[in-house]
C-alpha cells in the first residue's frame, strides 16, 4: 500500500479569495498532478461550505514548484510545497 | 564575454533610469526599452488601478530562463534588465520595465519584444483590475504549461493587457 505524502498548496490570483492560506492535502505516494488538482478542488469545496464554482478554472490551472510548472501526468513521490497557478497575465 | 542580467520583482516604484544605467556599456551600440503602465480603461470599463499578484520564486526562475533563451537567439553580449511590479498601482503606474542592450540595434529590438511576449505567456503573474464603479475583477489570461517558449503570439487567448 502506498505511503501518504503531505502537500502544502499555495493559492494565487483568483484562487486567493477561496482560502487565506496554503491548503494542506494528504495523498498517496505516486499520485498524479491531475489527481492532486481534483483533490484540491474537493478540499476547496469543503473549505467553502460545499460551494466551489471554479472547476473549469482549476482544469485550466497548473501546479508548480518554486522552480517549474508540473505536467498533469507527473507523479509526486515525496512531501512538497506546491502552488496552483490560474492562467497568467503579466506585463 | 557574456552580458549581465538584472531580474527583479518589486513592490517599490520602478525607476527607468536604473535600467538605462544598467544596460549601458562601451560595447553596446543600441538599447531598447519597454515600459508597461496601467491604462485607465479596459473592455469598455473605466479602470482606476490594477493589483499585481506574483509567485516570486517561480517568476524569477522564469525571468532567468527567458534571459538565457534571448542570449541563445540574439547573442551572448545582450545586457538584460527585467523588473515587474507586485502590489497595487494607480493609472499611469509602471507595472513592467524591460531593457535590452546589444552591440547592434536589431538584436536588442527583437530580444526586448521576445522577453515581453514570453513574460505575458509564461511568468506566474496575475492582474486584478479595480474599476471606478467600485467593482474588481481578475483579468483572464494564458494557461500555463510545462513546455518552453510560447514562440507564437497566440491572439486566441483572452488576455486583455494594459499596454
Any A CB within 8 A of B135 CB: no
pLDDT tens, residue by residue, A29-72: 999 999 999 999 999 999 999 999 999 999 999 999 999 999 99
Any B CB within 8 A of A31 CB: no
* Closest listed residue to residue B43, CA positions, set B135, B149, B151: B135
Give dist(CA B126, CA B122) in Å, integer: 11
Inter-chain touch A12–B57, beta carbons under 8 Å: no
pLDDT at B156: 33
Q: Which residue from A minimizes the CA distance to B86?
A: A90
Joined grid coordinates for residue B107: 538584436
pLDDT tens, residue by residue, B15-45: 999 999 999 999 999 999 999 999 999 999 9
Domain ranges of chain A: 4-85
CATH of domain B5-37+55-125: 3.90.1170.40
Q: Which residue from B minimizes the CA distance to A66?
A: B58
Joined grid coordinates for residue B99: 531593457
Inter-chain touch B126–A83, beta carbons under 8 Å: no
At the top level of CATH, the class of A4-85 is alpha beta
pLDDT at B158: 36
Inter-chain touch A83–B119, beta carbons under 8 Å: no
Q: Which residue from B minimizes the CA distance to A61?
A: B143
pLDDT(B148) > 80? no
ipTM over 0.90: yes
pLDDT(A2) > 80? no
Give dist(CA B122, CA B129) in Å, integer: 20
Give dist(CA B132, CA B161) in Å, integer: 18
Joined grid coordinates for residue A66: 518554486
Inter-chain touch A14–B126, beta carbons under 8 Å: yes
Inter-chain touch A13–B159, beta carbons under 8 Å: no
Kindly report the pTM of this predicted structure: 0.92
pLDDT tens, residue by residue, B61-85: 999 999 999 999 999 999 999 999 9
Q: Average pLDDT in the B111-123 region?
A: 97
Picking from A16, A71, A86, the nearest residue to B146 by CB comes out as A71
Q: Residue-wise over B99-113: b if at least 16 C-beta within 10 A, else e?
A: bbbbeeeebbebbbe
Picking from B55, B84, B121, the nearest residue to A85 by CB comes out as B55
pLDDT tens, residue by residue, A77-88: 999 999 999 999
Amino acid at each position: 500500500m502506498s505511503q501518504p505524502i503531505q502537500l502544502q498548496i499555495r493559492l494565487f490570483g483568483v484562487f486567493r479569495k477561496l482560502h487565506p492560506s496554503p491548503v494542506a492535502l494528504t495523498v498517496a505516494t505516486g499520485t498524479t498532478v491531475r489527481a492532486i488538482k481534483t483533490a484540491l478542488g474537493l478540499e476547496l469545496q469543503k473549505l467553502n461550505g460545499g460551494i466551489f464554482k471554479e472547476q473549469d478554472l482549476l482544469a485550466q490551472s497548473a501546479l508548480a514548484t518554486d522552480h517549474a510548472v508540473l505536467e498533469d501526468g507527473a507523479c509526486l513521490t515525496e512531501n512538497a510545497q506546491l502552488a496552483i497557478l490560474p492562467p497568467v497575465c503579466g506585463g | 564575454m557574456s552580458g549581465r542580467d538584472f531580474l527583479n520583482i518589486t513592490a517599490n516604484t520602478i525607476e527607468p533610469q536604473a535600467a538605462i544605467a544598467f544596460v549601458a556599456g562601451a560595447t553596446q551600440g543600441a538599447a531598447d526599452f519597454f515600459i508597461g503602465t496601467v491604462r485607465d480603461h479596459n473592455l469598455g470599463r473605466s479602470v482606476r488601478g490594477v493589483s499585481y499578484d506574483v509567485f516570486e520564486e517561480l517568476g524569477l526562475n522564469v525571468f532567468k530562463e527567458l534571459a538565457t533563451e534571448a542570449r541563445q537567439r540574439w547573442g551572448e553580449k545582450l545586457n538584460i534588465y527585467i523588473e515587474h511590479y507586485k502590489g497595487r498601482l494607480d493609472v499611469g503606474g509602471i507595472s513592467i520595465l524591460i531593457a535590452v542592450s546589444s552591440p547592434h540595434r536589431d538584436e536588442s529590438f527583437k530580444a526586448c519584444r521576445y522577453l515581453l511576449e514570453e513574460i505575458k505567456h509564461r511568468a506566474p503573474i496575475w492582474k486584478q483590475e479595480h474599476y471606478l464603479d467600485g467593482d474588481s475583477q481578475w483579468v483572464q489570461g494564458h494557461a500555463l504549461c510545462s513546455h518552453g517558449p510560447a514562440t507564437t503570439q497566440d491572439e486566441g487567448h483572452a488576455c486583455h493587457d494594459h499596454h
